[in-house]
Amino acid sequence: MPPPRVADTDLGEVVVLNVDATIVVTHSEKESAAPTFKGSFGFYPIGVWCDNTTELLAARLRPGNAGANTAADHLKVLSAAITQIPRAHRKHLLIRADGAGASHDLLDWLTTLNQVRGRWVDYSIGFALTEKLRAAIMLVPESVWTPALNADGAVRAGGDVAELTGLLDLSGWPTGMGVIVRRERPHPGAQLSLFEHTDGWRYQAFVTNTPTAQLALLEARHRAHARVEDRIRHAKDSGLGRFPSRDYRINQAWLTAVAIAADLTAWLRLLALSGALAKAEPKTLRYRVLHVPARLACTARRRHLRMPATWPWVTDLVAVFARIAAIPQPA
User: pLDDT class for 118, splitting at 50, 70, 90?
Assistant: confident
pLDDT digits (tens, 9 = 90+) for 106-115: 999 999 998 8
Question: Percent of the chain beyond pLDDT 70?
Answer: 96
Q: How confident is the model at residue 12 (pLDDT cuts 50, 70, 90)?
A: low
| Alpha-carbon radius of gyration of the chain | 23
Secondary-structure percent of the chain, ordered helix, strand, coil, rounded to 5? 35, 25, 40
pLDDT at 153: 80
Q: Where are the beta strands (DSSP E) in 133-291?
A: 146-149, 155-163, 178-184, 202-208
Query: 247: which residues sit within 8 A by CB, 6+ positions away?
Result: 31
User: Cα separation of 305 and 292, whole Å?
Assistant: 11
Task: Spell 267-294 as b/e; 16+ CB within 10 A means b.
Answer: ebbeebbeeebeebebeebeebbeeeee
Give per-residue pLDDT as tens, 210-247: 987 789 999 999 999 999 999 999 999 999 999 999 99
Confidence grade of residue 105 (pLDDT, cut at 50, 70, 90): very high
> pLDDT of 261-284, one tens digit each?
999 999 999 999 988 889 999 999
Start-to-end CA distance of the chain, whole Å, equals 37
pLDDT at 178 over 60: yes
Mean pLDDT of 53-82: 95
- What is the pLDDT at residue 5? 39
Beta strands in the chain (DSSP E): 15-21, 24-25, 34-35, 41-43, 46-50, 56-60, 92-97, 120-127, 146-149, 155-163, 178-184, 202-208, 295-299, 302-306
d(CA 138, CA 303): 72
Reference 75, options 39, 38, 43, 112; nearest CA is: 112
Length of the chain: 331
Helices 228-235, 248-271: axis angle to 10 degrees equals: 120
Q: Where in the chain is the domain with CATH 3.90.350.10?
A: 15-264
Tell me what pLDDT residue 192 has: 75
pLDDT at site 28: 85
pLDDT of the residue at 114: 87
User: What's the predicted TM-score (pTM) here?
Assistant: 0.89
Strand order in the sheet with 178-184: 56-60, 46-50, 15-21, 92-97, 120-127, 202-208, 178-184, 155-163, 146-149
C-beta separation of 209 from 122 below 8 A: yes
pLDDT of the residue at 155:
87
pLDDT of residue 216: 92
Write down the mean pLDDT value for the chain: 89
Residue 184 pLDDT exceeds 60 = yes
The CA distance from 114 to 94, in Å, is: 12
Give the residue-averaged pLDDT of 195-213: 85
Question: Residue 191 pLDDT more than 80?
Answer: no
15-264: which CATH architecture? Alpha-Beta Complex (3.90)
Residue-level pLDDT at 199: 78
Neighbours of 329 (CB within 10 A): 4
Alpha carbon distance 133, 313 (integer Å):
54
In this predicted structure, the answer to whether residue 82 has a pLDDT above a threshold of 80 is yes
Q: Are strands 295-299 and 302-306 parallel, antiparallel or unpaired?
A: antiparallel
